[in-house]
Amino acid sequence: MQAYESTPLADVFAAAAPWQKVVGAWLRKQAGAELFGMPGYRLTLKGRVPDGLLAAPRDGRPANAMQGKAILSGRFALANARMSVQGSGDPWNRSSPTRAFAISLHQFAWLAPLMTQGDDGAKEAMRLFLLWARTFRNWTPFTWGEEVLPRRLINLSVYARRLAAVSTPEEVHLLAQSLAEQGRHLLRLHNNQACQASRAVALVAVGCVLSGGVGDGFRKKGLNRLSKALRRTVLADGSHASRSPEEGLELLYDLLLLVDGLSQRSQPVPDYIEQHIDSLSRFVRTLSHPDGSLVAFQGAESVSEDQIAPALLQTDAAGGALPLVLEQGRYHCLLGRSLSVFVDTGEARAGDFGSAACDYPMTFEVSGGRDKLIVSPGWSPIQSDRHALRVVGAANTLSLGDDVILKPMSGKFGELLHFALEGLRYKVRSRRVEAEDSGTLLEMEHEGWRSKFGLKHERRLYVDTQRDELRGEDRLTPMPSKKDMPVQTQYTVRFLLHPEVQASLARDKKSILLRGPGGRGWWLRHDARDVSLDEGLVFEKGVARKTTLVALHGTARLDGQNRLRWKLSPAEA
């Protein structure tokens, strides 16, 4: 038996003084506005002019050709929002529908899809860049900020040479000069730990693309920063520091991009880059369902196999058996004959890496064979208008009444702190027991409900290998408290089904038949007082899909033990 209950000290301190963080963020923002907003600041970004464009680093992320065709006709669909610029053809002279759309627009997230349209797409991309440069060549806090600038530089670096091939010498000169000026500003930005890796990647990418001493300088500075950034961003077991599997996948793609760019410049690839590629690859593989899709934990969407495979094809798949436990990432895999259960036994991150964290204590996802049965909502930062889906009542765990434990910050303070979660932090403790040839038991508990209800939530998950079934038990145990508590409260345990799973409630209401897209049936049985089949939401590729939410209801007494048992087993059994 081994227990996993570490909580990073940075999270504790980050949660201890939210007002200090707000004040600090505001002061940094004001200082940046005073410095970067000074008349003539752009002159300080001048320097040696690049001789030209050399490398064209290849980005392995698949691009959507249909999206590119729509953009070519003036219809932008980014971050689950839409904008039409048919007529003016200028997306920069109007307000964006959402903040997430604006981020994607100024990151040039539209560039890869547009470039699937051949020379017509490249010419339109250059036209859009020139419009952007005319409007935003001078510093503004949003368009030149750490949330936008690194990714824009990466996207421009990937396609700079293709843009140059359809442009005039004057336009190519402007593009190269803009890359250099944006890179120099990037070197001056605030040292947000969560942005360090992407900033370093952007500097190296620009350094591979720009020729001469300008490119060499960016490349060397970027590589120096990248080594330190990766040590902070990638944990010892390969998990991303944010605990987001999707963020781990994005960083994996970025590092593969750098390997290609450095190789094109005949530059050696540092060993630490190869090592982190290997560890991130194992992180992604470990948290992939049998159908190849990625689990949707901690600010990640359910990324489909076609979005993952290009990265994994470029990495070594022969590195031995994948781990069943990610100790630093706080994830567990429980395997039956056909069941795959992925469990989050950690806490929502605070601090710089917590901007997309979700408070789903002891949540899990389940696949039966290649059929995904029980999934997570898949909230990610592009769903910036749906922060309510980041809290305890949205996922496969237990909630009390309509209360939440942590909640996203909102308004101007929330924007300053990147909409991090606020509230009384708590630990999740877990213990795993392997029973040889019979199954795996995972015991977990957290005290997040103690201050409001004086209760501790304990969850036991057991995968029986022989019967190929998952047995669960949720308990609410009274704890000493200084407050006067109500006598009882309502609780709900939720199971969010994949949109392609059909659910049928039996007459006795104690069993629900789940049938996946492959046709195989599974019984979800329980001893709850009541059950309902409600409507839920799952996000895939930025799109909200309606699905079924199985909700088990009960009444918890605050002065005694409360227990709910449930089981997922094959229907043919």
Q: Which of 147, 171, 191 is the last residue of a domain?
A: 191
Q: Which of 158, 191, 224 is the last residue of a domain?
A: 191
Does residue 107 lie in a domain region? yes
Does residue 382 lie in a domain region? yes
CATH number reported for the structural domain that contains residue 482 in this entry: 2.70.98.70
Does residue 201 lie in a domain region? no
Query: What SS3 class is residue 337?
Result: coil
3-state secondary structure 19-43: HHHHHHHHHHHHHHHHHHCCCCHHH
Residue range(s) defining the domain that contains residue 170:
47-191
**Span 209-257, pLDDT tens digits:** 999 999 999 999 999 999 999 999 999 999 999 999 999 999 999 999 9
What is the model's pLDDT at position 6?
40
Query: What SS3 class is residue 214?
Result: helix
In this prediction the pTM is: 0.93
Query: What SS3 class is residue 255?
Result: helix
Q: Which of 157, 191, 225 is the last residue of a domain?
A: 191
Q: Is the dihedral of CA 366, 303, 318, 237 positive or negative?
A: negative
Distances (CA, A) of 242 to 203, 297, 388, 444, 490: 22, 10, 19, 21, 32
Angle value at C-alpha 387, between 386 and 392, nearest 5 degrees: 120
Does residue 375 lie in a domain region? yes
Does residue 220 lie in a domain region? no
The ranges of the chain with pLDDT < 50 are 1-17, 318
The values of phi and psi at residue 90, to 5°, are -120, 105
Does residue 234 lie in a domain region? no
What is the model's pLDDT at position 3?
40
Please state the domain count of the chain.
2
Q: In what order do the strands lie in the sheet with 325-326?
A: 325-326, 331-335, 339-344, 364-368, 371-374
Does residue 136 lie in a domain region? yes
Q: Which amino acid is at 419?
A: F
**Span 8-48, pLDDT tens digits:** 444 444 444 465 665 565 556 656 666 787 888 889 999 99
Tokens of 387: 């922060």
What is the model's pLDDT at position 520?
96
Q: Which amino acid is at 435?
A: A
Q: At what angle do helices 149-164 and 193-209 cross, to 10 degrees?
A: 20
**Span 537-566, pLDDT tens digits:** 999 877 889 999 999 999 999 888 899 999
The values of phi and psi at residue 558, to 5°, are -90, 0
Concatenating the DSSP letter of every residue in 460-508 gives: EEEEETTTTEEEEEEEEEE---SS---SEEEEEEEEEBPTT-EEEE-TT
CB burial of 94-111 (b: ≥16 within 10 Å; e: otherwise) equals eebbbbbbbbbbbbbbbb
Check if the beta carbon of residue 232 is closer than 8 Å to that of residue 196: yes
Nearest residue to 293 via CA among 354, 252, 342: 342
What is the model's pLDDT at position 87?
81
Does residue 389 lie in a domain region? yes
Give, as one character, the DSSP assignment of residue 288: B
What is the model's pLDDT at position 31?
61
